[in-house]
Amino acid sequence: MPRLVYSKEVIVKIVILREYDKKSFREIARELARRGIEISHKTVRKIYEQYLILATDKIEEDTLKKIREVGCAIIAIDGVQPEKGKASL
């Protein structure tokens, strides 16, 4: 990723803490600080957003490959009742 000075291990830790542990960016920054890695929550957010961009490109490639194999795509939308006070699609 351009302009990043953090190792792949730090980037992976950010993704794991966000994706699997559902931590906020501030919580991730605090967790990394406990491990001796000084990083702001804003930088954590930027790193995570860059990861999402890269991951989306890979997902799209895989999806397009599968669509080509199958010959079509089926899009499904599942509606859920929104929680009170929370926006939903």
pLDDT of residue 61: 77
* Distance from C-alpha of 3 to C-alpha of 65, rounded to nearest angstrom: 31
User: Residue 14: inside a domain, yes or no?
Assistant: yes
Domain that holds residue 64: 8-70
Residue 10: pLDDT band with limits 50, 70, 90: very high
User: Residue 12: inside a domain, yes or no?
Assistant: yes
How many structural domains does the chain have?
Answer: 1
User: Residue 80: inside a domain, yes or no?
Assistant: no
pLDDT tens-digit profile of 48-78?
A: 998 888 887 776 777 778 878 888 766 666 6
The alpha carbon dihedral of 39, 44, 50, 54 has a sign of: positive
pLDDT tens-digit profile of 19-46?
A: 999 999 999 999 999 999 999 999 999 9
pTM: 0.62
Look at residues 49, 50, 52, 28 and name the one whose alpha carbon lies nearest to residue 40.
28
User: Residue 15: inside a domain, yes or no?
Assistant: yes
Residues 6+ apart with CB under 8 A from 41: 24, 25, 26, 28, 29
